[in-house]
Structure 1
Amino acid sequence: MREYLQRKEPFEIIAARHQTEDGLIPCQCLIIRCTADGYDLAFAENPDIEVFPVPESNVVADALVNRPDLWRQAAIRLTYRPSVWGSAPIFGVPFQRAVEIALKQGYTKSKYFLPNAHTGGGYESLLIHLRKVDDKRGELLQLEAWQYKPGSDFAYYLHAMSTNFQSLIVHLDGATIQYSGRDLDTLLLETKKVKGSHYQKFFRLDGELDVNDMHKLATAFLPGEQLYMEALDVAVMQNCA
């Protein structure tokens, strides 16, 4: 997944030149490369930049690829990284929209899970809270994330501070938190923050840090990077306390 982060900037540069007013990329700007498993897509002007339909566009893209006449007329929404097959949001709002809501309304929370990974009586889940806070550095947005794998009594916890999570962050730390069964239900089912019975921090950074470096460190720390990376397009439950 880290290699895809490195492709984000060149993807965005090329995409900006071609995207429509709806944020779509004309299929004529792409090349189709047949593989043993199906096909890959890349920008025609730079075949080194592989592109991927977002999950909502994927089935449509599959249909268009086999219809050159329709392909020439079409435009689809693309991204620079593959989606996590089998992952699902509770509600669907892109992550940056979630940030905008939190900045405007003060608070949002979101949850992703892997529906095809039901083990130990539950699903692998990622819960994210975004809250606007007054800090000595000014008004900031606080991100808290809990990643949980079934069969465990603890969750991996990530905490970060930024003005908007678009360019720089000013704080990042990671820890594990141990929970009772009841506390896990409160955290994962009610999506409410719970203190837990034992907290152990493993790293901390203070000072300006590029948001892409935050993603690299977060995915290195969390037990699985799939849900975190998918949460860039995270689902949001609004007006929750």
Structure 2
Amino acid sequence: MEEDKDGLLPTNNVVARDGRFYYGSEEIFVDPQCGGVVDYLTPKPALWRGARLRFTKDHYRMKRAPIIGVPFSRAFEEAKSISSGLQKSMFEDPNWTNYQGKAVVATMLAHTSASRTAIEFQAWQFLDVSTETFYVHAIIEKASERVIHLDGATMIHSDEQHSEIRSFARKLKGEGYTKHFRIDGEFDVSAAKDVMDLYFPIQALTKEFLDAMQ
């Protein structure tokens, strides 16, 4: 497969047919980390054409425990209100201590910077029981109020780096950076929020879920 420098395959080299994907005559498989993102993009030609995605030659599945935290889209919504300068924010469920040991707890560090023409949003979401960290990056053009770039990746942070992020809201890229998707072009903010939440889904705290945790 002719992947780019990040290991992503441009969608103009991929044929999607009946829920399956082909590179030439070879069937390829979506990296499970971005499965929800691909399902969202496939029926939307404008978004699909501007995407680069991580595919594999082997089919495998990934199962995660329920994750409790704040959706990327909430931080992204706040980011749009920044007019200039840099803002650093931490996001976590206020009752996160109640869920430890029963579900995975996520904490997000968000950096938002604004220039005269654009707003840039970066967020790192890390887990209390894993060194894996999720990352999203978006750029919003001020004039059109539309997103012109969005990507998602994972990386590894040590326990010490996690503590530093919690204490100082300091930007740390970490190790083992792996990009899973990239979308370029011009598209609605609502679509960007949908993609971010599909990339790293947070468990909805329904009554049924909370009862089950008990």
SS at match of 2:93: strand
Could you tell me how far apart the structure 2 residues matched to 1:195 and 1:94 are? 19
Asked if 1:127 is matched to 2:117, the reply is no
Give the Cα separation in 1 of the matches to 2:166 and 2:129: 13
Question: Is 1:145 aligned to residue 123 of structure 2?
Answer: yes
Alignment of 1:60-75 (within 5 A): none
8 Å CA contact 1:165–1:211 kept in 2: the answer is no
Question: 1:180-191 maps to which residues of 2 (within 5 A)?
Answer: 180-191=158-169
Equivalent position amino acid for 2:155 in 1:
I
Cα deviation 1:94-131 (Å, max 9, x = unaligned): 955x544x423x111112212323326x9521221101
Give the structure 1 partner of residue 147 of structure 2.
Answer: 169
2:137 alignment counterpart: 159
Q: Could you say what secondary structure the match of 1:128 adopts?
A: strand
Structure exhibiting the larger radius of gyration computed from Cα positions? 1
The Cα offsets for residues 175-205 of structure 1, whole Å up to 9 and x where unpaired, read as 0110111111122221111021111000000
Q: Secondary structure at the match of 1:193?
A: coil
Cα RMSD of the aligned pairs, angstroms, is 3.2
Aligned to 1:162, the other structure's residue is in SS state: strand
The answer to whether 1:206 aligns with 2:184 is yes
Q: What amino acid does structure 2 have at the position aligned with 1:199? A: Y
Does structure 2 retain, via aligned residues, the 8 Å contact 1:128–1:146?
Answer: yes
Post-superposition CA distance 1:5-35 (Å, at most 9, x none): xxxxxxxxxxxxxxxxxxxxxxxxxxxxxxx
Aligned: 1:111 with 2:111? no
| TM-score normalized by the length of structure 2 | 0.52
The higher relative CO (CA closer than 8 Å, separation ≥ 6) is in 2
2:170 counterpart residue number? 192
What CA distance in whole angstroms lies between the structure 2 residues aligned with 1:87 and 1:199?
22
- Segments of 5+ residues of structure 1 without an aligned counterpart are 1-85, 228-241
What does residue 29 of structure 2 align with? none
Gaps of 5+ in 2: 1-67, 206-214
Amino acid at match of 2:111: H
CA distance in 1, matches of 2:181, 2:203: 17
Give the superposition deviation at 1:226. Answer: 5.9
User: What count of residue pairs does the alignment treat as equivalent?
Assistant: 130
Aligned structure 1 segments of 4 or more residues deviating by more than 3 angstroms = 93-96, 164-167
Residue 208 of structure 1: SS of its match in structure 2?
A: strand
TM-score (norm 1): 0.47
Amino acid in the other structure paired with 1:103: S
Tell whether the 8 Å contact from 1:99 to 1:164 is kept in structure 2 after alignment.
no
**Cα contact 1:166–1:211 (8 A) shared by 2:** no
Change in Cα spacing, 1:217 to 1:191, as seen in structure 2 (3 Å) is same
Deviation per CA, 1:143-171, whole angstroms, max 9, x where unpaired? 00111221110211010001349941000
